[in-house]
Amino acid sequence: MPARIAGTGRYLPTEVLTNDALAQRVATSDEWIRTRTGIRQRHIAAATEQTSDLAVNAARAAIAAAGMQPADIDLIIVATATPDMIFPATATIVQDKLGIRHGGAAFDISAVCSGFVYALAIAERMVSSGGARNALVIGAETYSRILDWSDRGTCVLFGDGAGAVVLVPAPEPGIVTAHLHADGSHRHILCAPGAIQHGAITGTPFVHMDGAAVFKFAVKVMADVAFEALAAAGLSPTDVDWVIPHQANIRIMDATMKKLHLPEERLVVTVDVHGNTSAASIPLALDTAVRDGRIRRGQHVLLIGVGGGFTWGSVLVRW
């Protein structure tokens, strides 16, 4: 049985940190951040909010949009690079907070900013093979906790948030095709190279990035994996109604659209509102475009992820 997305949801923490407010903390400006990245503001989780809390809020919205109850969910995958703790998996904490008892599988996956696309591809395979029925796929992050707030090269880029979808069996394929890739030889250009050993943090537990190298790599692989999905589906770029790339930087997104020879009007952009929210960025943008009525039944939506590892992937959805 094929799988389709039956509901979407999103959650952004209440606190908004504008570029002007950031410029009070580090040597930057609203003009620099907007022209280099397209970001106007980001949301910051409250001290009492964990990644699982953001995830649960997005999940409840997605489950309600699917016309379901939490008890109907029998698979939970949380894509995150900022889990609540070392273990258990944030997905099991989400399951508990949703009140699901004696449920199906719940686990996290770590593919950084490609995490949502990875999780959706895995869930699609589990649902379509009969291994699960109603899957909850979440991207949720609290990057504000792993940023060096004195490093203007990284702290201006990221934010906190969560997005979720519910995947169900369907007679027609909603998930048309999915393609995942990684190349670990590029892992040093974007990483948070800290570890916990014998009770102490070793290495540097903050986001480290070679921005220019990430930029170049992202533009190349996003276009490659978009073309890979289109070839597998027998479609051309003009058959795509909406492109939803990882919301990292408007210039990376624009460059990807140019390589696809698609007009900007088909690009969904939310990076201005929430910055780079890593695994949460694609489902945040997806839910925005579903709820404001841009995405309509029968349309083709191309999700493209790219992130640390390096990892990248695409999921082509017929809505």
Binding site for ligand UT7 (CB under 6 A): 28, 32, 36-37, 113, 152-153, 156, 190, 209, 211-212, 214-215, 248-249, 252, 276, 307
Looking at beta carbons only, is 121 or 252 nearer to ligand UT7? 252
Looking at beta carbons only, is 215 or 319 nearer to ligand UT7? 215
Residue ranges of E strands in 57-214:
75-79, 105-109, 135-142, 160-169, 175-182, 190-191, 194-197, 200-203, 208-209
CB of 145 to ligand UT7, least distance (A): 17
Q: Could you tell me the sign of the dihedral formed by the alpha carbons of 56, 6, 134, 83, in that order?
A: negative
Looking at beta carbons only, is 9 or 305 nearer to ligand UT7? 305
Rounded CA separation 267/301 (Å): 10
Q: Among this protein's residues, is 113 annotated catalytic?
A: yes
Structure tokens that stand for 308 in this block: 């640390």
Looking at beta carbons only, is 209 or 286 nearer to ligand UT7? 209
CB of 211 to ligand UT7, least distance (A): 3
Please check whether residue 119 is in contact with residue 280, taking contact to mean a CB–CB distance below 8 angstroms. Answer: no
Options 19, 57, 249, 276, the catalytic residue: 276
Residue nearest to ligand UT7 (CB): 211
CB of 150 to ligand UT7, least distance (A): 11
Looking at beta carbons only, is 97 or 251 nearer to ligand UT7? 251
CB of 82 to ligand UT7, least distance (A): 13
CB of 269 to ligand UT7, least distance (A): 14
Question: In the chain, how many H helices and how many E strands?
Answer: 10, 15
Looking at beta carbons only, is 89 or 218 nearer to ligand UT7? 218
Alpha helices of the chain — where are they, by DSSP H?
Answer: 19-22, 30-37, 51-65, 90-97, 115-128, 152-155, 211-233, 250-259, 271-274, 281-291
Please check whether residue 119 is in contact with residue 278, taking contact to mean a CB–CB distance below 8 angstroms. Answer: no
Rounded CA separation 130/95 (Å): 21
The DSSP code for 264 is G
Tell me the one-letter amino acid at 1: M
CB of 147 to ligand UT7, least distance (A): 12
Options 246, 249, 274, 300, the catalytic residue: 246
Contacts of 306 (CB under 8 A, 6+ apart): 113, 114, 217, 218, 221, 222, 245, 246, 248, 312
Q: Among this protein's residues, is 179 annotated catalytic?
A: no
Options 43, 113, 155, 274, the catalytic residue: 113
Q: Among this protein's residues, is 155 annotated catalytic?
A: no
The residues assigned a catalytic role are 113, 246, 276
